[in-house]
Amino acid sequence: MKLSGAASVLVALASASSALAFSAPSSSTSFVPSRSSTSSRAATFSRQAFSAPRQATSSRCSSAVSALKMGYTVGVVGATGAVGKEIVGCLEKSPIEVGKLRIFGSSRSAGSKRDTGFGEIEVELFDVDKARECDVVFLAVSGDFALEHAEKIAEGDDGAVVIDNSSAFRYNPKVPLVVPEINAEATKSAKLIANPNCTTAIALMALWPLHQLFKLKKVIVSTYQAASGAGQPGMDELWDQTKAVVNGEKDVADHEIFAHPLPFNVIPHIDKFQENGYTKEEMKVTWETRKICGLPDDFPVSCTAVRIPTSRAHSESIVVETELPIDLAAARKALEEAPGVKLVDDTSEEKYPMPLTATGQYDVEVGRLRRSEVFGDNGLELFVSGDQLLRGAALNAVLVAEAMDKNGALKEKAAA
């Protein structure tokens, strides 16, 4: 989170004016704005800098505000869900200048209050016109909701930039599907951006640097996906039903969210089965990898997606065949230097990627690098773990906004 420059100046000048009114001593005294008025990065101001009369202070305040950005008005729809909460948390740590945060919800949550790093925010009943007042809107809602409202929020020069976390627009050729470390330039002329599937985003953090070096030829992925991939209800079902079995209340857990009981089980079934025998979750990895990386429509990517009884962070076993021979030292170096990646690959010390260590982390852990016994010198096998609520969802969405801020695609309406 970064308080807008104008807001910081206002806080400082208001304090200086108050100090003058009470004839404060001229000795240097520091003033630090409170957390409710700014972020943890708040600057410290000296009262000596504001020794002019109050009229001059007022004049300087006015001119400073007009010269500085007021900060973006940011909207989050679905901020009470697992991904929405993480979006707000990522915004609190982001360098993006947030002048105002607006949280939109259903009639059930409208009017309730949410404590955030931007202060206490009252949840507003969602309305398209209200959302259009924002500079950027994050959608952490269902695909059906996004299909109904996203384009209406974004349309026209006076619409908001919309970053959608659902699958509604991922395969629309007119809508960029973005992992900022790979294809941020695709956002330059866009008002509606699609966030990728969590499994795809985590895999590509490792695959993209390798593709740059060795040119991918085939990709085979097996996933180990946490209950949080089904949102807060999925995590709740895992915890509640695990307790029920451990406490002896049940021999086999109940299930509503997942196709079968998840505690003490693994389920090779995520999303709906397709005619080709793959599930839609598995095909998302295929389709999205091709689109984000600019690969041909027939580029071979195969995935088997499995739900496992962990709370948070997805893991993936990845096998690749490459056009060029693999140099393991070069692969490690590329991954060490890649943004958003943490190389955890020291088997002599039993260090490798795990959900336990990846949970809550921005970087995707990558390790277990080794020459493939199947593809030989042109093959590499690896294991990755990443927090799918962050890297696979909320963090990626906020990084998209940061990229658009840098490339000029995101603008404050007042300054547009």
Catalytic amino acids? 198, 314
341 - beta bridge partners? Answer: 364
Taking every pair of Cα atoms in the chain, the longest distance, rounded to a whole number of angstroms, is: 80
Confirm if 309 and 265 have CB atoms less than 8 A apart.
Answer: yes
φ and ψ at 322, to 5 degrees? -120, 160
Side chain identity at residue 290, one-letter code: R
Strands (E), 155-312: 161-164, 192-194, 216-225, 301-307
Q: DSSP letter at 346?
A: B
| Separation between Cα atoms, residue 412 and residue 247, nearest integer Å | 54
Half-sphere exposure of 292 (CA within 13 A, CB side): 28
Closest CA to 335 of 180, 181, 177: 181
Closest CA to 73 of 119, 155, 4: 4
Neighbouring residues of 94: CB distance < 8 A, sequence distance ≥ 6: 1, 2, 398, 401, 402
Take residue 415 and report the two structure tokens written for it: 């300054």
Q: Which run of H or of E encompasses 237?
A: helix 231-246
Burial of 320 (C-beta count, 10 Å sphere; 0-12/13-18/19+): buried
Q: Which residue has the tokens 């955890």?
A: 344
What's the chain's length in residues?
416
Q: DSSP letter at 267?
A: B
Q: Which run of H or of E encompasses 184?
A: none
Residue 411 backbone class (left: φ over 0; alpha: ψ -120 to 50; beta: rest): beta
Take residue 64 and report the two structure tokens written for it: 């400073």
Other beta carbons within 10 Å of 181:
18
Closest CA to 324 of 160, 164, 214, 162: 214
Strands (E), 156-211: 161-164, 192-194
